[in-house]
């Protein structure tokens, strides 16, 4: 196993690296398509604005490489904006295309939401507790969130967890070996480390 962390000039790389180190694992940074040839697992920790992240990926030639990786059903874990970019587009950046691995568009919380950004600990209710990604995490594990946007109108078959913050939203998706979470497992202590460890058990 060799873990690659997508480095597009942004993202919460240091926290992910520390989480992997806590699990006894090392990672290499993926900043160009050729770097993917040497890894078995990809983690994409997005941070910042949807459109800027998408442009940075495109400039580095990573967009198409990541699309091919995910569509080949190889181990891929998108976090926060890295999760949002799995979808088609976002209200945050009109006219900018996401990676379109899954159907769905990212939208802002409704005005009725409690507080935006949604920041802090919240539960993620599992759609299917037998999914191996969630092994050992219970029915409603708690994770750490920091976000104002989330993907909506998603195919039900990819929904892995739901969370409530003024309104219900999909806080994680999974299909095959592709996993995406709106929350930050690398900042979610024991539960987050367990989820990352479960992801790393997937085989390329």
**Is 165 a catalytic site residue?**
no
Q: Is-catalytic flag, 186?
A: yes
- Of 41, 53, 118, 186, catalytic: 186
Instruction: In whole angstroms, give the CA distance from residue 135 to residue 137.
Output: 6
Q: Any bridge partners for residue 119, and if so which? A: 146
Q: Which of 41, 53, 80, 118 is catalytic?
A: 80
Neighbouring residues of 45: CB distance < 8 A, sequence distance ≥ 6 = 5, 6, 11, 12, 13, 15, 16, 79, 80, 82, 186
Q: Are 56 and 14 in contact (CB under 8 A)?
A: no
Q: Which two tokens stand for residue 44?
A: 């994409």
Name beta bridge partners: 44: 78
Tokens 């078959």 found at: 157
Q: Which residues are catalytic?
A: 80, 184, 186
């Amino acid at each position: 196993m060799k873990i690659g962390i997508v480095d597009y000039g942004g993202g919460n790389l240091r926290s992910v690296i520390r989480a992997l180190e806590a699990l006894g694992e090392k990672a290499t940074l993926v900043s160009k398509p050729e770097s993917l040839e040497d890894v078995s697992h990809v983690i994409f920790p997005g941070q910042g604005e949807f459109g800027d992240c998408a442009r940075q990926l495109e400039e580095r030639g990573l967009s198409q490489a990541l699309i091919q990786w995910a569509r080949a059903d190889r181990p891929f874990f998108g976090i926060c904006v890295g999760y949002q970019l799995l979808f088609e587009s976002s209200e945050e950046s009109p006219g900018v295309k996401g990676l379109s691995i899954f159907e769905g568009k990212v939208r802002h919380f409704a005005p009725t939401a409690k507080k935006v950004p949604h920041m802090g600990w919240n539960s993620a209710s599992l759609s299917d507790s037998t999914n191996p990604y969630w092994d050992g995490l219970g029915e409603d594990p708690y994770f750490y969130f920091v976000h104002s946007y989330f993907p909506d109108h998603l195919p039900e078959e990819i929904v892995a967890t739901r969370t409530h913050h003024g309104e219900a939203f999909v806080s994680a998706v999974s299909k095959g070996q592709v996993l995406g979470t709106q929350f930050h497992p690398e900042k979610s202590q024991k539960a987050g480390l367990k989820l990352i460890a479960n992801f790393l058990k997937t085989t390329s």
